[in-house]
Amino acid sequence: MADVIGFIGLGHMGRAMAGNLLKAGYRLHVYNRTPEKAAPLVAQGATLMSHPSDTAERGGIVLTMLSDDHAVESAVFGETGILERLGPGGIHLSMSTVSPATARRLAEHHSRYQTVYVAAPVFGRPEAAAAKKLWISLSGPHAAKDRVKPILGALGQGVFDFGEEPGAANVVKLAGNFLLASAIEALAEALTLAEKNGVDRMKLASMLSQTLFACPAYQTYGEAIAQERYQPAGFLMSLGLKDITLVLQTAAASAMPMPLASLLHDRFLSAVAQGGAELDWAAVASDVARSAGLSRKKDD
């Protein structure tokens, strides 16, 4: 009989991932703060639990896919957190984006209960999650990583192992999001320069994404920015700001300047200050256009 896995966090990403685990034959004990979101999964056979702790079985595996560091810490340490119930030999498979510092702190606390923290943050939007096309960055103790690999195999198209240090996989995740945000800023400045000089934005984006930058990041964001299409949001501006803040905090904690990350932080703040928090993070390009004196018709 298949293993039972605890699954906490059923947002856009979590629901898609949990669905794939059910299809792969896993049994799931799911929990979400808003229980209604669990309905489609329950219809597929998942069992809905009342508390995070209920999802854990002694020595088992609990996967978390939550919105921020605080939510993960609550699910672990809170009154109804998983920590005690999971017990010796248990694994917390933490797949959302948290800071390396939080990951290290969680790993340390887990070790006091003889449970193991495995960091496995993912790259990909909800569509990628649904299509099992996530890329997964992994770090933690060897034996635990071996045990969760079949689960990760049911969720993504590739797993990259960054060793045993619990924060490592999250450093990788932050580095990746920083690179994406950098590409967005660069595309926004380049396409605005083109427009100010009479060159078609869409033609330029199209050329770039067929040649030097023929890869998903530039194809996705090149087209969105060229067309100024920022809704519906694939990744919220407010979450982009949160991630860049984590990047800068991680850099500061390791005593290094990251001037490009600072520039992005200022750009996100400017976009949020002007009302863009609920748009896709590529909408920072609107602030680039504004500072170039380009005004847009409201109904464009």
Interacting span for a second copy (CB under 8 A) from 13-21, 58-66, 83-91, 162-170: 162-170
Residues of this chain, 233-262, that bind a second copy according to CB under 8 A: 245, 247, 250-252, 254-262
Binding mask 180-219 for a second copy (x = CB under 8 A): x-xx-xxx-xxxxxx-xxxxx--xx--xx-xxxxxxxxx-
Element at 203 (helix H, strand E): helix 201-210
- State the nearest-atom distance from the C-beta of 246 to a second copy, in Å: 11
Residue of 167, 237, 280, 285 interacting with a second copy (CB under 8 A): 167
- State the nearest-atom distance from the C-beta of 50 to a second copy, in Å: 33
Residues of this chain, 257-276, that bind a second copy according to CB under 8 A: 257-263, 265-267, 269-270, 272-275
Q: List the one residue out of 9, 19, 157 whose CA is nearest residue 74.
A: 9
Per the structure block, which two tokens stand in for 137? 């960055």
- State the nearest-atom distance from the C-beta of 144 to a second copy, in Å: 19
- State the nearest-atom distance from the C-beta of 211 to a second copy, in Å: 4
Strands 47-48 and 27-31: parallel
Residues of this chain, 1-60, that bind a second copy according to CB under 8 A: none
Residue of 120, 172, 246, 283 interacting with a second copy (CB under 8 A): 172
List CB contacts of 127: < 8 A, sequence separation 6 or more: 133
* Residue 217: C-alpha distances to residues 72, 137, 151, 202 (Å): 28, 17, 26, 16
Per the structure block, which two tokens stand in for 73? 């810490």
Binding mask 99-138 for a second copy (x = CB under 8 A): -x----------------------x-----------x-x-
- Say what the alpha-carbon torsion angle 135, 140, 145, 148 is, to the nearest 10 degrees: -70
Q: How many Å apart are CA 106 and CA 211, to the nearest integer?
A: 43
Per the CB < 8 A criterion, the answer to whether 58 and 90 are in contact is: yes
- State the nearest-atom distance from the C-beta of 24 to a second copy, in Å: 22
Interacting span for a second copy (CB under 8 A) from 3-11, 24-32, 141-149, 155-163: 155-163
Of 47 and 245, which CB lies nearer to a second copy in the complex structure?
Answer: 245
Active-site residue numbers? Answer: 173
* Residue 17: C-alpha distances to residues 28, 64, 124, 217, 289 (Å): 11, 11, 11, 22, 37
Residue the block writes with tokens 């810490």: 73
Of 80 and 219, which CB lies nearer to a second copy in the complex structure?
Answer: 219
Cis peptide before 232 (omega within 30 of 0): yes
Of 4 and 260, which CB lies nearer to a second copy in the complex structure?
Answer: 260
